[in-house]
Structures are given as structure tokens and as C-alpha cells.
């Protein structure tokens, strides 16, 4: 509850245009952009590469799909190209939260590409800064490290 109040207070002081600005280069610089909420930090080090776990909804077919998008790379969902530029999580002593900086571009066939979204999305409050599109919904579920299959152990 305290975290939600901090987000509301943070958003009250930030204009909508400022909330959708690009994060500075580098994780430490991006973390400094969220200094008002000191509990957000980069994904802890560990095996695997950092990824954002996302959920997409195709409103035409009413199908949802969970997928991972590597930080620093682009992935596709339908005609959307989703680029994850940064992904932050809360410290262990704070309530669970994840925030990802996404850029979403629509590549509909026969039409010019169109940027639908660029900004931070929060897992706990998807409606706070949501993708506003007639065909697709995208939301952040978590920021984690991609865990590949591990080799069999030899005992």
C-alpha cells in the first residue's frame, strides 16, 4: 500500500510528458531517474540474461500470450515490435514491483510504422501507463533473469 501511495505522489509531481521520456543510458543512470522511489533497482546479478516478462492481448481474437523480452532487444507480438530498454525491480524489503521502459511500434502491413507507446510500465498498476490501442494490450508482469535449461547434473 505504501508503494502505491509513493507512485501516486510521484505521478502527481511528474507531468505525463515527462513520465514518457527515455531513460538515460545505463542501468545506474536509469535507477537515478527513479530516486523518488528508492526501492526500485536493477535486476540482481545472476545466471541468465535480464528479461521483462510481458503479457499481450489480441483484442480481435481474444487470445492472450505470455512471453519474455530481453532487455536491450526487441521482440514481436502480432504486428507489434516491443523494445525493452530497462527493467527495474523492488528491493527485497519492499513489496514486489517491477517497472520496464518499453517502446512499442506497430508495423501493420501496407501502412507506415506507428509508435504506440514509449515510457515506463509498472506491473502493479498496468492502467497507470498503458498501451492505448484498439487491437492490442500489453502489460508488464515481472522483471527477471531468463533461466535456460540447465545441463543434467552428474552425481
* pLDDT at site 34: 42
Contact by Cβ (8 Å): 7, 19: no
For residue 39, is it within any domain?
A: yes
For residue 130, is it within any domain?
A: yes
* pLDDT at site 15: 34
Identity of the highest mean pLDDT range in 48-52, 79-83, 122-126, 147-151: 79-83
Distance CA 2, CA 106 (A): 36
In this predicted model, what pLDDT tens digit does every residue of 97-141 receive, in sequence order?
A: 999 999 999 999 999 999 999 999 999 988 888 888 899 999 999
In this predicted model, what pLDDT tens digit does every residue of 18-77 receive, in sequence order?
A: 344 444 444 443 433 444 456 878 877 878 899 999 999 999 999 999 999 999 999 999
Q: Report the domain count for the chain.
A: 1
Q: What SS3 string covers 18-55? A: HHCCCCCCCHHHHHHHCCCCCCEEECCCCCCCEEEEEE
For residue 82, is it within any domain?
A: yes
* Cell numbers found for residue 55: 503479457
Taking every pair of Cα atoms in the chain, the longest distance, rounded to a whole number of angstroms, is: 58
Report in angstroms the alpha-carbon separations of 78 from 35, 56, 61, 91, 138. 35, 9, 11, 34, 11
Q: Is the dihedral of CA 43, 50, 19, 59 positive or negative?
A: negative
For residue 88, is it within any domain?
A: yes
* pLDDT at site 108: 93
* pLDDT at site 109: 93
Q: Which residues contact 135 (CB under 8 A, 6 or more apart)?
A: 58, 59, 60, 78, 79
For residue 152, is it within any domain?
A: no
Kindly report the number of other CB atoms within 10 A of residue 67's CB atom: 16
* pLDDT at site 104: 97
For residue 153, is it within any domain?
A: no
Instruction: Name the band, by pLDDT with cuts 50, 70 and 90, for residue 148.
Output: low
> Which residues partner with 98 through β-bridges?
89
For residue 154, is it within any domain?
A: no
Its domain, for residue 124, covers 2-15+23-145
Amino acid at each position: 500500500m505504501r508503494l502505491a501511495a509513493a507512485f501516486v505522489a510521484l505521478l502527481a509531481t511528474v507531468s505525463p510528458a515527462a513520465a514518457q521520456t527515455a531513460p538515460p543510458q545505463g542501468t545506474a543512470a536509469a535507477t537515478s531517474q527513479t530516486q523518488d522511489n528508492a526501492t526500485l533497482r536493477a535486476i540482481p546479478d545472476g545466471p541468465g540474461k535480464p528479461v521483462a516478462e510481458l503479457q499481450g492481448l489480441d483484442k480481435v481474437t481474444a487470445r492472450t500470450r505470455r512471453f519474455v523480452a530481453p532487455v536491450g532487444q526487441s521482440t514481436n507480438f502480432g504486428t507489434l515490435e516491443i523494445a525493452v530498454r530497462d527493467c527495474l525491480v523492488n528491493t527485497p524489503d519492499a513489496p514486489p514491483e517491477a517497472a520496464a521502459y518499453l517502446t512499442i511500434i506497430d508495423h501493420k502491413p501496407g501502412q507506415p510504422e506507428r509508435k504506440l507507446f514509449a515510457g515506463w510500465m509498472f506491473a502493479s498498476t498496468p492502467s497507470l501507463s498503458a498501451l492505448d490501442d484498439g487491437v492490442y494490450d500489453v502489460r508488464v508482469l515481472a522483471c527477471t533473469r531468463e533461466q535456460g535449461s540447465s545441463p543434467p547434473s552428474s552425481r
